[in-house]
Amino acid sequence: MRLSLLRTAVLLAALSSSLAAQPGRGNAIRSPEVSPDGKVTFRLRAPDAKDAAVTGIGQRLPMEKNDQGVWTATTDVLKPDIYTYSFSVDGATVPDPSNALLKTSYGSIGQSMVHVPGPAIWEPAEGPRGVVSHHFYKSARIGDNRDFYVYTPPNYDPARKEAYPVFFVLHGLGDEAGSWLNVGAANVILDNLINQGKAKPMVMVNTLGYGTADGPRGAMGAGMIPAFAAALVDEVLPQVEKEYHVSKNRNDRAIAGLSMGGAESLYTGLHNINRFAYIGSFSGAFIMWPRANPTPAPAAGGGGRGGRGAPSMTNADFEKNFPELNAKAASQLRLVWIACGLDDGLNAVNRQFKTWLKSKDIAFTDVEVPGYAHVWPLWRQNLAELAPLLFQGKK
């Protein structure tokens, strides 16, 4: 069972106290430890616990306790990637108290992360780096205080003659504005692609993705995504244009996102073709769009995150969301890029939407990736494949 945030914090405090109460032993706890061959060893001091395991990296990994009260478990060889995990301690789910690297989540402690290094586009490489800035504002549209991040590319020059293109990259349900930077390594991916000459130098914006003031709790409401789209276009975009040297040409604007963010990017982009020329969706949770015949909304933690129980949609739903979309309007778009893993529970509704687009003679790039479900390794790969396609050709 998952404890409440308060009870989880109490358990973490107890684990930390146990660690600190044993001089000479607490400092010996090293977790996680990545070996050169790609195995990861996890350790947890919990002498009073009856059961402990590592969860979130494949199947549940049982831990064994030694006579000093330290629980240990080692994985098989893992391929290079950024993994998230938690400890299950007597049924309570907690992050690793010895690991400061956390995957941030909206309103919760989050999960621990471990980096297994290796050749990948999200690994930091030699070359100049971009800069990430954090912004805060009061949203009149949503009625709360919220934030967004802005990445400026390596060697960003606010005085250069040509304004920079801007790319909005949106997070998924349960995450927060910085998730694409925190676990998605989006800034590192863009650094590497730009330094290698594979992508245009661009400004990236990562904004809080909820169109309600109560975050994920209200995310399945019918008005959530339309309100988010309005806030992005009417509030965030003008702030970015005021504070950064970015182009106001629609051919220099792109929007993409994962899961909930994929649904939001398509909704926002297809309703604002006069503002965006490039639109991408990674494992889009289109079930979050308003319905033609509303039914009780699915739970925020279910199909919206790619669960196998994700409900289907109908052409009437798509018509309700995009009543004015036709081939002529869509012909102004330079790219509509729709990707999903074949093992993702949301792939069915992605296919439904793509079939509807075909019926309207609207062109799109169809990407279905075998061997992946609803996971970050796929979304980082999606971003690395999409970014080089943006802002190419004539304006």
Highest mean pLDDT among 22-31, 117-126, 255-264: 255-264
pLDDT tens per residue across span 213-239: 999 999 999 899 999 999 999 999 999
Q: What is the pLDDT of residue 17?
A: 41
Q: What is the DSSP secondary structure assignment for residue 166, as one 8-state letter?
A: E
pLDDT band at 296 (very low <50, low <70, confident <90, very high): low
Among the ranges given (5-9, 130-134, 234-238), the one the predictor scored with the smallest mean pLDDT: 5-9
Q: 309 pLDDT exceeds 90? A: no
Q: What is the pLDDT of residue 108?
A: 76
Query: Is the Cα torsion angle 231, 234, 239, 245 positive or negative in sign?
Result: positive
CA distances from 335 to 116, 276, 309, 395 (A): 34, 10, 30, 13
Architecture in CATH for domain 5-116: Sandwich (2.60)
Element (H, E) at 385: helix 376-386
Cβ 245 vs Cβ 163: under 8 Å: yes
- Indicate yes or no: pTM above 0.75: yes
pLDDT tens per residue across span 234-269: 999 999 999 999 999 999 999 999 999 999 999 999
Q: Which residues of the chain does CATH 2.60.40.10 include? A: 5-116
CATH top-level class for 131-389?
alpha beta
Average pLDDT over residues 173-198: 96
CA distances from 265 to 56, 97, 336, 377 (A): 28, 36, 10, 20
Among the ranges given (13-17, 126-130, 219-223), the one the predictor scored with the smallest mean pLDDT: 13-17
**Residues ≥6 apart with Cβ < 8 Å to 302:** 309, 310
Give the separation between CA 311 and CA 286, rounded to whole angstroms: 10
Percent of the chain with pLDDT over 70: 88
Q: What is the pLDDT of the chain when averaged over all its residues?
A: 90
Q: What is the pLDDT of residue 110?
A: 82
Q: Which residues of the chain does CATH 3.40.50.1820 include? A: 131-389
